[in-house]
């Protein structure tokens, strides 16, 4: 069974749908038994959607957007 720390570390990939089936199933089972992680997941989803919506409404030069996305990907688990 996945613990809360592992759950938090995997949220980005879980939300993006890039985890393997077994890991996704383990996370789903964890969410069924852990209300604090469900609350964190829901907050994460809303925050992600708000950030994406904001980025889509603001004119950011392509080079800056590319650099920002790469930075976020590289530092997502810190």
Range of the domain at 10: 4-74
CATH number at residue 13: 1.10.10
pLDDT digit string, tens, across residues 28-45: 999 999 999 999 999 988
Q: What tokens does 52 get?
A: 């994406």
Query: Is it the case that residue 75 has pLDDT exceeding 90?
Result: no
Contacting residues for 1 by C-beta, under 8 A, at least 6 apart: 26, 29, 30
Average pLDDT score over residue span 69-76: 86
- Work out how many domains the chain is built from and give that number: 1
Supply the pLDDT for residue 55.
67
């Amino acid at each position: 069974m996945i613990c809360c720390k592992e759950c938090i570390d995997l949220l980005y990939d879980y939300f993006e749908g890039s985890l393997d089936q077994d890991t996704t199933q383990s996370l789903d089972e964890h969410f069924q038994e852990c209300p604090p992680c469900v609350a964190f997941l829901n907050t994460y989803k809303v925050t992600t959607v708000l950030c994406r919506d904001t980025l889509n409404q603001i004119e950011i030069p392509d080079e800056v957007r590319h650099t920002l996305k790469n930075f976020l990907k590289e530092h997502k688990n810190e």
